[in-house]
Amino acid sequence: MLGKEIMIGSVRFQSNVLMAPLAGYTCFPFRLMASKLGAGSAYTEMVSVDALKYDDRATEKLLYTDDREKLKCVQLLGSDPMLFEKAAKSERLAGFDVIDINMGCPVPNVIKSGEGCALLEDIPRASKIIEACKRSGKTVSVKCRIGMNPQKIVIEEFARMCEASGADMITVHGRTRNMMYDGEPLYEYIKLAKESVRIPVFANGGIDSKEKAFEMMEKTGADGVMLARYGFENPLIFSELTKRENGETKYSLIIGQLDIAGEIFDELYVLTYIKKLASYFMKKLPGTKQYKLDLYRCGSISQLRVLLGEIFGGK
């Protein structure tokens, strides 16, 4: 059943429909919107534990939060258990309730650094990372894939290791690393992970409609779903799946994002973010080619606001 509350460790999520962390998109304004629409949690963009050693502006933006965000969840990337522990216990993350560990990113540069999906092939190190994060006293979740390729599917062993190491939840992307973001998820392996552990298991991958979300639940027996790119194309999916009435439209949502982002971030960041989000919102709308050209020519927030009215007004 989708839409129900669920306990993850010591933290109550308002629903079992979650928003995945996505670089360049799950900034503070988007997380607020997803939660308002019914998402049980929305994680920050991926934050490198190495970058946390430095007080750089980029990381500050990734970690921005305030009291409007009731449940605060951060995703960390890295390969050094000591750096994970230091980050998890740091003042920078003191306000966050949940730490998610990225063990599923398939990008080549991440893999070369021994991070993300590479940890599927280094289970002892992955275990130490989870244990290190748990020593912070926070709720800890893990996002992973089912294996590196069809010949190296390790999800059963990996899920059991996560539970034994102290993880409070696992999100399984039902594809191997070599599948990247294409192809039908391998539902049977998400189901295998669910049957291998007692902690909550969430299913991720290929959910691009309400029907796909229900199919994922039916085929895997998962405790909930985590949406990714479709959450940007149609954030109203959170309300649809959780049966939460909101009266929002794509226009009201995008203007709301513009207003919140404008309160917090500089104009260049706001323009970049809203243009990217609007491009997702425009998918399947007629006349998008010309609108996209107009969108990327916008050089100020005031121009952007007018154009957003032309594109999404009444939608």
Q: Where are the beta strands (DSSP E) in 113-231?
A: 139-145, 169-173, 201-204, 224-227
Question: Which amino acid type is present at position 15?
Answer: S
Q: Which of 73, 105, 117, 133 is catalytic?
A: 105
Does residue 27 carry a catalytic annotation?
Answer: no
Comparing C-alpha atoms, which of 291, 289, 285 is closest to residue 306?
291
Residues 6+ apart with CB under 8 A from 287: none
Burial class (CB in 10 A: 0-12, 13-18, 19+), 30: buried
SS3 label, residue 171: strand
Tell me phi and psi for residue 48, to 5 degrees: -75, 130
Query: How distant is the alpha carbon of residue 276 from its chain centre?
Result: 16
d(CA 216, CA 232): 19
Contact 206, 225 (CB under 8 A): no
Catalytic residues: 105
